[in-house]
């Protein structure tokens, strides 16, 4: 009886979808990397329609400013405003893409990028920047699309703001 009870946790781990990711195949990995190639090309052409086609209709997108867009159409409006002003002369470069398949149809994708050529509202140039996307990409009907995307600006650790520790006796 003790042997059977000991085997139960191992059996549960073996079938748990949370603890054992199932990898995609080479074609899926290529398709996901192609999304990032298409994003870079569309950004550099300032082609908002091509950029937004990479996203699922109900995608959630959080940009570098922390704005949360619920749905592809809301995100498209933001991109249109951005590409008609601040980034209309910018150049985007994807530096690195890392893919982790959670299932054959769901992947977490991290994308390092850099850009330059952005301008302040008064037309003065902004410094180049680096960032990282954390994306959830989902395969449906044979096509990979971005279902969620979070952008984070990379800053040197020494310049990042520290959140002050709470004062008082927390938990007492």
pTM (two decimals):
0.80
Q: Are 92 and 78 in contact (CB under 8 A)?
A: no
Lookup: tokens for 143: 């096509």
9-13, 51-55, 76-80: least confident range: 9-13
Predicted local confidence at residue 7, as pLDDT: 37
- Is residue 126 over pLDDT 50? yes
Sheet holding 106-116, edge to edge: 68-70, 55-62, 143-153, 129-140, 106-116, 91-103
Predicted local confidence at residue 108, as pLDDT: 98
- Is residue 21 over pLDDT 50? yes
Task: Assign a CATH topology to domain 22-155.
Answer: Nuclear Transport Factor 2; Chain: A, (3.10.450)
Q: Over pLDDT 90: what percentage of the chain?
A: 76
- Over range 130-136, report the average pLDDT: 98
């Amino acid at each position: 009886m003790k042997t059977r009870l000991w085997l139960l946790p191992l059996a549960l781990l073996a079938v748990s979808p949370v603890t054992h990711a199932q990898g995609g195949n080479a074609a899926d990995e290529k398709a996901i990397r192609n999304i990032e190639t298409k994003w870079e090309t569309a950004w550099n052409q300032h082609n908002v329609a091509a950029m937004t086609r990479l996203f699922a209709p109900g995608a959630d997108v959080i940009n570098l400013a922390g704005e949360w867009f619920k749905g592809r159409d809301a995100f498209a409006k933001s991109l249109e405003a951005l590409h008609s002003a601040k980034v209309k002369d910018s150049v985007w470069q994807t530096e690195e893409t890392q893919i982790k398949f959670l299932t054959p149809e769901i992947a977490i994708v991290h994308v390092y990028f850099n850009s330059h050529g952005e301008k302040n509202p008064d037309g003065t140039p902004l410094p180049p920047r680096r960032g990282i996307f954390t994306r959830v990409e989902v395969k449906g009907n044979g096509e990979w699309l971005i279902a969620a995307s979070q952008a984070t600006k990379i800053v040197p650790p020494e310049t990042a703001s520290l959140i002050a520790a709470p004062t008082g006796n927390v938990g007492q």
